[in-house]
Amino acid sequence: MTQIDPRALRNVLGCYATGVAIITTRSPSGEHVGVTVNSFSSVSLDPPLILFSLARTANVLATFQQATHFAVNMLGHEQQALSNMFAKPSTARFEAGSYTEGASGCALFGKSVAQLECKRASEVEGGDHVIFLGQVTDFHLRSATQPLLFYRGAYGTYARDQWSKVPPHDGTLSDFGVPGWG
Ligand SMILES: Cc1cc2nc3c(=O)[nH]c(=O)nc-3n(C[C@H](O)[C@H](O)[C@H](O)COP(=O)(O)O)c2cc1C
Q: Specify the 3-state DSSP secondary structure of 145.
A: coil
- The pLDDT tens digits of the residues spanning 92-102 come to 679 889 999 99
* Protein residue with least CA distance to atom 22, ligand 1: 58
Amino acid at 121: A
The reply to whether CATH 3.30.565.10 applies to domain 20-149 is no
Q: Is the pLDDT of residue 171 over 60?
A: no
The verdict on the CB of residue 90 being under 6 Å from ligand 1 is no
Question: What's the CA-to-centroid distance between 168 and ligand 1, angstroms?
Answer: 32
Residues pairing with 42 in the sheet: 50
**CA nearest ligand 1 atom 23, residue:** 58
How far does the centroid of ligand 1 lie from the alpha carbon of residue 82, in Å? 12
Domain ranges of the chain: 20-149
Ligand 1 pocket, 39 CB below 6 A? Answer: yes
Q: How far apart are CA 150 and CA 86, in angstroms?
A: 15
Residue of the nearest CA to atom 25 in ligand 1? 89
In sequence order, which residues have a C-beta less than 8 Å from that of residue 49 and are 6 or more positions away? 42, 43, 121, 133, 134, 135, 136
Task: Give the integer Cα–Cα distance in Å for 107 and 151.
Answer: 26
pLDDT-derived band of residue 167, with 50, 70 and 90 as boundaries? low
Question: What are the residues whose beta carbons fall under 8 Å from the beta carbon of 142, sequence distance 6 or more?
Answer: 110, 111, 112, 113, 114, 115
Average of per-residue pLDDT across 151-169:
82
Confidence of residue 16 (pLDDT cuts 50, 70, 90): very high
Q: Which pLDDT tens digit goes with each residue over 107-121?
A: 999 999 999 999 999
Q: Which atom of ligand 1 is nearest to the CA of 20?
A: 1
Query: Could you tell me how far CA 143 lies from the centroid of its own chain?
Result: 16
Which helix (DSSP H) or strand (DSSP E) does residue 119 occupy?
strand 114-126
Residue 166 CA, ligand 1 centroid: distance in Å: 32
Provide, rounded to the nearest whole percent, the portion of the chain with pLDDT above 90.
80
Q: Quick check: 175 pLDDT over 60? A: no
Cβ pair 45, 127 in contact under 8 A: no
Distance CA 6, CA 11 (A): 9
Atom of ligand 1 nearest to the CA of 150: 1
Percent of the chain residues topping a pLDDT of 70: 87
**Which pLDDT score, from 0 to 100, does residue 142 have?**
86
What's the half-sphere exposure (Cβ side, CA atoms, 13 Å) at 52? 30
Exposure string of 84-110, with b = 16+ CB inside 10 Å and e = fewer, is ebbeeeeeebbeeeebeebebebbbbe
Probe ligand 1: pick from 18, 27, 35, max atoms within 8 Å of CB? 35
Ligand 1 atom at minimal distance to the Cα of residue 89: 25
Sheet holding 18-19, edge to edge: 18-19, 149-151, 154-156
Higher pLDDT, 99 or 178: 99
What pLDDT band is residue 38 in, cutting at 50, 70 and 90? very high
For residue 89 and ligand 1, the question of a CB distance below 6 A is answered with yes
